Amino acid sequence: MKIFIFILSVSMLLVACGGDDRSANTNHAGHSLNTNSPANTSTVDHNAMGHGNMASHSDMQSSPNAAAAPYDLQFLDTMIVHHQGAVDMSMLAETRAQHPELKELAANIIGDQEREIAKMSEWRDRWFAEKTKAINMEFPGMSHGMGGMDLKKLESLKGNEFDIEFVKQMIPHHEGAVEMAKDLQKQDSHAELKELASDIITAQEKEIKQMREWLGKWQ
């Protein structure tokens, strides 16, 4: 009788332990699939806006009635997506570029333009929070800057071939940003935007000159 009670007790203990393990595994699986968590939502949004959606930049369309929006709003929304294009191109250089100086330039572009995107997004929220998107592909410099982007081609290249194609695409992209920034300086715009435009012109004209020198050496 004592032996039977002992065996029964052990059996019940084993069942209880097995049930706890299954419960723990179920909870763990449920946690890993919780796509509503802030971290997972952030990851999905980043991929949708950036590197995972790169090929669509050159095919981008203007927002409805964008040209009728306030000038500064058009500039902000249009320059944000223009900057994002440069960031997406530059992200490819880390694993594909041959020349260290190009990798350094690409890293600087990512840092500078992500910082400027953050500034412009903050100003947009402050000045135009209730306004709909006003991306204008007819904005001065925009079609020139984005029209030549072929990120699928860049993704297919490595080494010196990548470096040459990168600068061939980034030079007109920078030229487009400079044209947009110079146009803003003619407008009655926010002082913060005029200061940003001046910074864009100074930085990107310097980078254009450098990339042209590299192109002459690497081709």
User: Using the 8-state DSSP alphabet, how is residue 131 labeled?
Assistant: P
Q: Is the pLDDT of residue 21 over 50?
A: no
Q: Which residue has the higher pLDDT, 39 or 66?
A: 66
The answer, as to whether pTM is greater than 0.85, is no
Q: Domain 57-218 sits in which CATH superfamily?
A: Ferritin, core subunit, four-helix bundle (1.20.1260.10)
pLDDT of residue 146: 86
Band (148; pLDDT cuts 50, 70, 90): confident
Q: What is the mean pLDDT of residues 36-45?
A: 29
- From residue 99, alpha-carbon distances to 14, 73, 162 in Å are 62, 38, 10
What does the domain layout of the chain look like in residue ranges?
2-33, 57-218
- Per the rule left: phi > 0, alpha: psi between -120 and 50, beta: everything else, 141 is left
Average model confidence (pLDDT) across the chain: 81
Q: What is the mean pLDDT of residues 56-67?
A: 83
Q: What is the mean pLDDT of residues 79-104?
A: 97
Look at 13-17, 33-37, 64-68 and tell me which has the smallest mean pLDDT.
33-37
Residue 164 DSSP SS3: helix
Euclidean distance between CA atoms 130 and 117, whole angstroms: 19
Kindly state the percentage of the chain with pLDDT values over 70: 74
Band (112; pLDDT cuts 50, 70, 90): very high
| 144-182 b/e (C-beta count within 10 Å ≥ 16 → b) | bbbbbbbbeebeebeeeebbbbbbebbbbbbbbbbbbbe
Other beta carbons within 10 angstroms of residue 99's beta carbon come to: 18
β-sheet bridge partners, residue 159: 97
pLDDT of residue 143: 85
* Tens digit of each residue's pLDDT (9 = 90 or more) over 151-201: 999 999 999 999 999 999 999 999 999 999 999 999 999 999 999 999 999
Q: Is the pLDDT of residue 109 over 90?
A: yes
Band (8; pLDDT cuts 50, 70, 90): very low
